[in-house]
């Protein structure tokens, strides 16, 4: 039944400089024009909620029509899109107040009027009065017909506007309560006259609205002659995360993960919680089995996967706001009772409530990972292989949780199996040698380079475990992790290495050996000149002839190379060379009478050490020539 005119048209001007505000809404406010449908569905949901609450005291309001719902339809010929609800509706004065004035929200006043449990139970989300005007982003003109549930059919109102400086009001007759909004679409907006597009937008933004959203079922060729139009519900009309955990099975959680994350893998684990208090929200967080395909492409700056809802209406992908970057692999949903949004409800505003949610979600995610490590080591191994390098970022970025994150780290070690990263810092500390008060580690370009590094020879000879770190992030991460569980962490390739507390393989005559090495150290230093900043006898080496060592707080050579490759301006500096005075090649330098040959051997000691730590030689041809000449002699 259509509305019929019962009075002359009244033309009214918008208030509050609406012409300028409408121009802002139409051209600047919304970054995605499709959001207009979310706003209209949200307003319709609000109207249904208001009716549901008022009907508790006045059951007659829903008499004859208790099936609360939203209907969406379109007419390609007339180029109109229509959305109708059978909610509370509006009176003439309410239309003027709520539609005729920008930034005026009847929903906000309705919320303010509710207290206690009534407020807690509502599903209202309309916090701003501009959502309705998003229609003018896609429509040349909009017609709204509404009748309040407690008013007669003859008191219905029709509101019409082209989104400029004024609007028209008519009193009409409308048998049905509620509100019907018809958009006369702009010529370029054909996509919103497509059933599949409309259904997908409802699924994206309004799938979990508490009321059914209905559309006519699409006809196929074989039922084109069917006279009756079949109406079907196109949203789930319930939110899995809002249901009690006792009602949900593992298969329910798994199915929802695949739907919400558009994933094909099974989730490793999940956590489902409801937080009550000043800031009430529900969270359902998942750890994926496999790295999401978009994680490698979007990276740290554009993160997705954690969907924010406010009272079950999708607002945005909020990973950037509600989780730190090092947890960007988490998937799931957050449904808040209320959060500060910008006026278009597309951007989350930073404040202490958002910070509290971020802190709570971070804690729950780390709890989930810890329980995986403790109770399901096989699943944790899968998690670590996919996300370990990302989690390591938290050591540098999250000072408050640094110890918790460090507890979750896993490494390869000289006492581990091949290159498997299964050794935790707790494992290492539990098997430290008597007298050992330091966790020793080495960083390199690759695991093989770390495992074969000459800097760890003396520690291996003393049966001291060394953690082998071969990922790019390790050197940067360890710059922020100097201590764990009261134990210092020490890079064995940096600074002076004091192994006196660990016992020596052969301590007898150590001082004499140092004294005996002094002449060859001085000779090599003279022969190399400005190529090195220092030469010293090594406590690290037992088999190799030489190695490169940097000062304790200097940047590791492989990190310098990586930053240079990324375009960073890293100044060059001469390396320090440590030599094994007992090695035959070093002894050859000590005893060689030919100064030129001695210099060639000294340079080879430096170049070999540079190659061992992964550097590219400045003059590879000269290196080969020196090596061939030495072999030939």
Residue 575 pLDDT grade (very low, low, confident, very high; cuts 50, 70, 90): confident
If asked whether residues 216 and 112 sit together in one domain, one would say yes
Q: Which residues constitute the domain of residue 525?
A: 510-632
The pLDDT value given to residue 201: 93
Q: How high does pLDDT run on average in the chain?
A: 85
If asked whether residues 304 and 167 sit together in one domain, one would say no
403 within domain boundaries: no
562 within domain boundaries: yes
Of 177, 201, 233, which residue sits at a domain end? 233
If asked whether residues 110 and 185 sit together in one domain, one would say yes
Q: For the domain that residue 221 is a member of, what is the CATH number?
A: 3.30.565.10
If asked whether residues 244 and 116 sit together in one domain, one would say no
pTM: 0.76
If asked whether residues 413 and 559 sit together in one domain, one would say no
The pLDDT value given to residue 474: 93
Write the pLDDT tens digit of every residue in 314-354.
777 878 888 999 999 999 999 988 776 655 555 566 678 88
If asked whether residues 489 and 536 sit together in one domain, one would say no
pLDDT over 60 at 64, yes or no: yes
pLDDT over 90 at 565, yes or no: no
- Rounded to 10 degrees, the C-alpha dihedral 605/611/614/618 comes to 100
Write the pLDDT tens digit of every residue in 218-252.
766 555 555 567 999 999 888 899 989 999 999 99
pLDDT over 80 at 573, yes or no: no
Residue ranges with strand state E in 410-533? 412-413, 438-443, 467-469, 483-484, 487-491
- Vertex 156 angle, CA 153 and 157, to 5°: 170
If asked whether residues 180 and 287 sit together in one domain, one would say no
The stretch 146-150 carries a mean pLDDT of 96
- CB atoms closer than 10 angstroms to residue 68: 21
The stretch 151-160 carries a mean pLDDT of 95
CA atoms of 471 and 501, how far apart (whole Å): 30
If asked whether residues 559 and 611 sit together in one domain, one would say yes
Non-local (6+) Cβ contacts of 264 within 8 A are 258
Write the pLDDT tens digit of every residue in 285-325.
999 998 876 565 455 656 778 988 888 877 778 788 889 99
Q: For the domain that residue 553 is a member of, what is the CATH number?
A: 1.20.120.790
pLDDT over 70 at 136, yes or no: yes
390 within domain boundaries: no
If asked whether residues 163 and 312 sit together in one domain, one would say no
155 within domain boundaries: yes
Q: For the domain that residue 452 is a member of, what is the CATH number?
A: 3.40.50.11260
Write the pLDDT tens digit of every residue in 4-36.
666 668 887 765 555 666 666 666 666 678 888
Write the pLDDT tens digit of every residue in 356-372.
889 999 999 999 999 99
Pairing of strands 213-216, 70-75: parallel
Task: Quote the number of domains for the chain.
Answer: 4
Query: Helix and strand tally (H, E) in the chain?
Result: 22, 23
The pLDDT value given to residue 346: 54
- CB atoms closer than 10 angstroms to residue 489: 17
The pLDDT value given to residue 569: 74
401 within domain boundaries: no
520 within domain boundaries: yes
Of 382, 401, 421, which residue sits at a domain end? 382
pLDDT over 80 at 591, yes or no: yes
The structure tokens listed for 408 are 């979750």
CA atoms of 507 and 529, how far apart (whole Å): 32
Backbone angles phi, psi at 30, to 5 degrees: -100, 125
The pLDDT value given to residue 187: 94
The pLDDT value given to residue 239: 86
The pLDDT value given to residue 102: 55
If asked whether residues 139 and 195 sit together in one domain, one would say yes
The stretch 104-127 carries a mean pLDDT of 53
- Vertex 82 angle, CA 30 and 78, to 5°: 105
If asked whether residues 171 and 209 sit together in one domain, one would say yes
388 within domain boundaries: no
88 within domain boundaries: yes
If asked whether residues 221 and 265 sit together in one domain, one would say no
Q: For the domain that residue 265 is a member of, what is the CATH number?
A: 3.30.230.80
Q: What percent of the chain has pLDDT over 70?
A: 84
């Amino acid at each position: 039944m259509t509305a019929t005119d019962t009075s002359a048209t009244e033309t009214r001007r918008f208030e509050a400089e609406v012409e300028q505000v409408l121009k802002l809404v139409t051209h600047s406010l919304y970054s995605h024009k499709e959001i207009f449908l979310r706003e209209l569905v949200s307003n319709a949901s609000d109207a249904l909620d208001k009716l549901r609450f008022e009907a508790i005291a006045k059951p007659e309001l829903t008499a004859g029509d208790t099936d609360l719902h939203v209907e969406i339809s379109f007419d390609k010929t007339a180029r109109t899109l229509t959305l109708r609800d059978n909610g509370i509706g509006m009176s003439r004065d309410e239309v003027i107040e709520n539609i005729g004035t920008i930034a005026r929200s009847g929903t906000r006043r309705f919320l303010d009027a509710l207290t206690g449990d009534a407020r807690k139970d509502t599903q209202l989300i309309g916090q701003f009065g501009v959502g309705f005007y998003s229609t003018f982003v896609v429509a040349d003109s909009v017609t709204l017909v509404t009748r309040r549930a407690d008013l007669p059919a003859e008191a219905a109102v029709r509101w019409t506007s082209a989104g400029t400086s004024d609007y028209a009001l008519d009193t009409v007759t409308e048998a049905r309560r509620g509100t019907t909004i018809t958009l006369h679409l702009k010529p370029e907006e054909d996509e919103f006259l497509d059933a599949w597009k409309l259904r997908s937008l409802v699924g994206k933004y309004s799938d979990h609205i508490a009321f059914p959203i209905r559309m006519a079922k699409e006809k196929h060729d074989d039922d084109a002659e069917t006279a009756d139009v079949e109406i079907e519900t196109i949203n789930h009309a319930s939110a899995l995360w809002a249901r009690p955990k006792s009602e949900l099975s593992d298969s329910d959680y798994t199915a929802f993960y695949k739907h919400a994350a558009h994933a094909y893998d099974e989730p490793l684990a999940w956590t489902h919680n409801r937080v009550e208090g000043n800031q009430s929200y529900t969270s359902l967080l998942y750890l994926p089995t496999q790295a999401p395909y978009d994680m490698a492409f979007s990276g740290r700056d554009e993160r997705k996967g954690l969907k924010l809802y406010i009272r079950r209406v999708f607002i945005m992908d909020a990973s950037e706001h509600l989780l730190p970057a090092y947890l960007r692999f988490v998937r799931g949903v957050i449904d808040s009772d209320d959060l500060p949004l910008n006026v278009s409800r597309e951007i989350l505003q930073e404040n202490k409530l958002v910070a509290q949610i971020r802190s709570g979600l971070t804690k729950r995610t780390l709890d989930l990972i810890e329980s995986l490590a403790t109770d399901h080591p096989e699943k944790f191994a899968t998690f670590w292989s996919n996300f370990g390098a990302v989690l390591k970022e938290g050591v540098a970025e999250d000072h408050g949780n640094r110890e918790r994150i460090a507890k979750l780290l896993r490494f390869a070690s000289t006492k581990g199996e091949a290159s498997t990263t299964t050794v935790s810092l707790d494992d290492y500390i539990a098997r430290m040698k008597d007298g050992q008060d330091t966790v020793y580690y080495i960083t390199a370009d690759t695991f093989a380079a770390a495992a074969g590094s000459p800097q760890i020879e003396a520690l291996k000879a003393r049966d001291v475990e060394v953690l082998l770190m071969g990922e790019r992030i390790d050197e940067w991460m360890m710059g922020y992790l100097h201590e764990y569980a009261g134990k210092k962490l020490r890079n064995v390739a940096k600074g002076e290495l004091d192994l006196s507390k660990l016992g020596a393989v052969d301590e007898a005559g150590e001082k004499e050996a140092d004294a005996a090495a002094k002449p060859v150290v001085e000779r090599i230093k003279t022969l190399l000149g400005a190529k090195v900043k220092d030469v010293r006898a090594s406590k690290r080496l037992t088999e190799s002839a030489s190695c490169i060592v940097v000062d304790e707080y200097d940047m590791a050579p492989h990190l310098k190379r990586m930053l240079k490759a990324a375009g960073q301006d890293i100044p060059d500096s001469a390396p320090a060379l440590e030599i094994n005075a007992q090695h035959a090649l070093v002894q050859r330098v000590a005893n060689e009478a030919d100064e030129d040959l001695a210099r060639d051997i000294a340079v080879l000691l430096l170049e070999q050490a540079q190659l061992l730590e992964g550097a590219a030689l400045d003059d590879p041809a000269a290196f080969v020539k020196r090596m061939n000449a030495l072999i030939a002699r």
